[in-house]
Structure 1
């Protein structure tokens, strides 16, 4: 029996584990695509901006003196905004838009507000010193303008900061999303810069059987988001810049142009990069979110749980490596799990009245219906139990001891060190 040591990202460090090589049936990683060299990043950004998909270039759309609002990802997403935002500002300066005619809104959705230092870290200190920056706070009702309802009944309430400018530029990165199909694109606005009631009504579709990873056509959540943004977009100029990164946060490709057409084109590449074939389901999946900020809290690590669920056998077990330095990440999520105590009770209550935060309780515990999840985490073990995890320890070795009664002494193992990104593809898919 030959042992091999594997590393799984954890916060800003790694956790290691030695496993028999013949028990590991797959190590799920993003496909190897040559990243854009650092010295070529600026030119590739400009190339994408100046050759957009499905829409005219900025120099045909932007007039001197126009006003621009950029939408940037919050601290829960890796976006490399600090690389492309200085290029964007300089390009718009070249087109006659001064810095004082531009601003940045961070698309928080229902996430916590960012500090000024966190904003500056996201976009770079140079950009932070040049243009004003704002949080989109979904709870500040007075900050939103109403654009009617979607055909599915979602009220379209969008942050006013996006409504008083000539151009809105949506930025971010694209990965698979567990119920909206893919991240990026329209999500910068809805849910990113939408009011809580808009987010709540849209997100209730996560309980529909038609939603899922990589699904856009026929996905009621995705289609509702697109329709909502279409209502906002009437008479406005929207421009998209989305990038696809690898697990090392390096740029692989950049897409710019029409906020739907360019996004869907990018999604084709996302399938190539992050969809990873596996031979079969395993007795045991050992998965990492990919380190900070993907494992910043339990709220965010749920996406990794969905990906791991695909790879584990019914009745097997999952060891989830996630630091969770900010705890659960959402009080409503935490309280719902503590109060209701079971998946069935959570489903019943949400079907009667869908509540944001409580929806995460559904998303987390749904995964546990296939296999128990054991945490390797700094999360308080008492809290982990209340969130219905099967155990919470600080090393993978301790977790292995806990799962042995479930998976046996010689389980088949799938390792997922980039678990928030990679989507396992079974042979029948």
Structure 2
């Protein structure tokens, strides 16, 4: 009997899988990766050795103002560590520079003050200029160009008007952009809603190159790269974190070159061979990524890569914040079946992309071939069932349901943290 721990909210759940059923436990190398450096030392070392760029200090000299783009409440970037280091190094060479911290909310809701304190620490929240990006507030936006795919590139005016734009973030596998981090600070991070929706259109989402771990010929990534260059993203500091959200690696420098180096590190650490299962258990890595169903689709895609047609996915995710997007919920709930959602969405042109369309498109793709059981005791069951999924309060309950569907000899694949892996064929 194998005992396996799975992240859930801010704790770990334990599941027992009989040896006869367990096909594989698939984990990122970050689970066992060790370093003798402290988190602070890793960040400092990366900033001391920028990739393809002048140092942060050189870029800051002589500037009157700058914008630091940072991630929102849905991303586990350890900003309590990274931001103080960035601010100290900036002010050491330019004490008078005006610094605005712009939260890259993308199409998400604004980050609350309580969430800011949790993420940045009370000292930064009380003493720095922190602004939520609002993607639908036209007065905050400026048109700076046209994307390679033809869409208009609108971004936050604060970044356009700043003498220097830098960003911090983290790099992990991403279910349609290939990897997070780098250029994503601009698009979708501080882009207009219309620009985000154009970039996340159904044609691009349907591309076989718009998948976890893929950057080459990924149409979504290509637009994002252009946006970062056009916006003048001069410098990035991106970290890689482990299952405990601790920093194990960092890169800094040019927004493209440094990001690519960070992606190589993550790819080498996180790539795992697919093992097909009748039942696949996954999670979203716990808090903060498992706050809603919207974000939980990411962890489902890792499970999807290990499914046979007709497999059962058991998705362990708190979803304490509900569905995570009204359009996401309604488009799933109002359809008779996931296939109906897919049929409709693939007919939608780029300039008519609906809010959250990319998320319900991917969820519908998964549900059109597999059954999903959401494991949570923190989310309204009706929401889950409305969206064509089943519900269980515990992993044991979900497994019992899955065994009834797939048989007592069903093979089980467990991916303890679905957002931390790149599943390859």
Task: State the TM-score, normalizing by the size of structure 2.
Answer: 0.94
Which residue does 1:114 correspond to in 2? 111
CA contact (8 A) 2:9 2:288 kept: yes
Q: CA offsets, 1:253-284, max 9 Å, x none?
A: 10000000000111001111221234x31111
**Equivalent position to 1:167, from 164, 168, 188:** 164
CA contact (8 A) 1:7 1:14 kept: yes
Q: CA offsets, 1:316-336, max 9 Å, x none?
A: 211111110001011111111
For residues 254 and 63 of structure 2, the distance between their equivalents in structure 1, rounded to whole angstroms, comes to 22
Which residue does 1:239 correspond to in 2? 235
For residues 264 and 364 of structure 2, the distance between their equivalents in structure 1, rounded to whole angstroms, comes to 30
Which residue does 1:307 correspond to in 2? 302
Which residue does 1:40 correspond to in 2? 38
**Equivalent position to 1:90, from 79, 88, 91:** 88
Deviation at 1:143, TM superposition (A): 0.5
CA contact (8 A) 1:171 1:242 kept: yes
Report which stretch shifted further, 174-183 or 59-68: 59-68
Q: CA offsets, 1:331-380, max 9 Å, x none?
A: 11111112223233223332224212233211112112232111111322
Pairing 1:96-107 to 2, within 5 Å after superposition: 96-98=94-96, 101-107=98-104
RMSD value over aligned CA atoms? Answer: 1.7
Task: State the TM-score, normalizing by the size of structure 1.
Answer: 0.93
1:344 to 1:313, Cα distance in 2 relative to 1, 3 A: closer
Which residue does 1:407 correspond to in 2? 406
Which residue does 1:216 correspond to in 2? 215
Which residue does 2:224 correspond to in 1? 225
Note the residue ranges of structure 1 that are not aligned, 5 or more in a row: none
For residues 215 and 5 of structure 2, the distance between their equivalents in structure 1, rounded to whole angstroms, comes to 34
Report which stretch shifted further, 139-148 or 113-122: 113-122
Which residue does 2:371 correspond to in 1? 372
For residues 172 and 423 of structure 1, the distance between their equivalents in structure 2, rounded to whole angstroms, comes to 19
Which residue does 2:385 correspond to in 1? 385
Question: What SS does the aligned partner of 1:340 have?
Answer: coil
For residues 126 and 295 of structure 1, the distance between their equivalents in structure 2, rounded to whole angstroms, comes to 27
Pairing 1:275-354 to 2, within 5 Å after superposition: 275-278=271-274, 280-350=275-345, 351-352=347-348, 353-354=352-353
For residues 384 and 133 of structure 1, the distance between their equivalents in structure 2, rounded to whole angstroms, comes to 35
For residues 291 and 41 of structure 1, the distance between their equivalents in structure 2, rounded to whole angstroms, comes to 21
**Equivalent position to 1:81, from 71, 79, 91:** 79
Deviation at 1:44, TM superposition (A): 2.6
Question: What SS does the aligned partner of 1:224 have?
Answer: helix
For residues 215 and 336 of structure 2, the distance between their equivalents in structure 1, rounded to whole angstroms, comes to 33
Report which stretch shifted further, 379-388 or 69-78: 379-388
Which residue does 2:52 correspond to in 1? 54
CA contact (8 A) 2:141 2:157 kept: yes
Question: What SS does the aligned partner of 2:231 have?
Answer: helix
Which residue does 1:72 correspond to in 2? 70
**Does 2:126 correspond to 1:142?**
no
CA contact (8 A) 2:42 2:247 kept: no
Deviation at 1:311, TM superposition (A): 1.2
Note the residue ranges of structure 2 that are not aligned, 5 or more in a row: none
For residues 151 and 276 of structure 1, the distance between their equivalents in structure 2, rounded to whole angstroms, comes to 33
Deviation at 1:189, TM superposition (A): 0.7
For residues 345 and 316 of structure 1, the distance between their equivalents in structure 2, rounded to whole angstroms, comes to 20
Deviation at 1:246, TM superposition (A): 1.0
Deviation at 1:411, TM superposition (A): 1.3
